[in-house]
């Protein structure tokens, strides 16, 4: 029997973009959160959390 080590990696990236929009009180504001894994192994137990400012409503689409 031969044991062959496996060198698997995870390379996670997260980005947030508003497309250059400006936010105003009482206005609507949209942005996108994207993620990717450039590694050769699927990550496990990963949680993405976004905190919004006070008095802000978050509509997840």
How many CB atoms are closer than 10 A to CB 2?
Answer: 3
**Contact, 29 vs 21, CB < 8 A?**
yes
Q: What is the pLDDT of residue 40?
A: 85
pLDDT along the chain (61 residues), means of 10: 76 91 84 89 86 79 64
How far apart CA 30 and CA 58 sit, in angstroms, is: 10
DSSP H/E element including 14: strand 12-17
Over its C-alpha atoms, the chain yields an Rg (Å, rounded) of 19
Record the pTM: 0.63
**Per-residue confidence (pLDDT) for residue 17, from 0 to 100:** 93
């Amino acid at each position: 029997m031969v044991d062959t080590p496996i060198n698997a990696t995870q390379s996670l990236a997260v980005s947030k973009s508003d497309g250059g929009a400006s936010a105003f009180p009482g206005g609507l504001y949209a942005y996108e959160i994207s993620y990717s894994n450039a590694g050769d192994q699927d990550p496990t137990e990963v949680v993405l959390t976004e905190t919004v400012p006070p008095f802000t409503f978050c509509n997840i689409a």
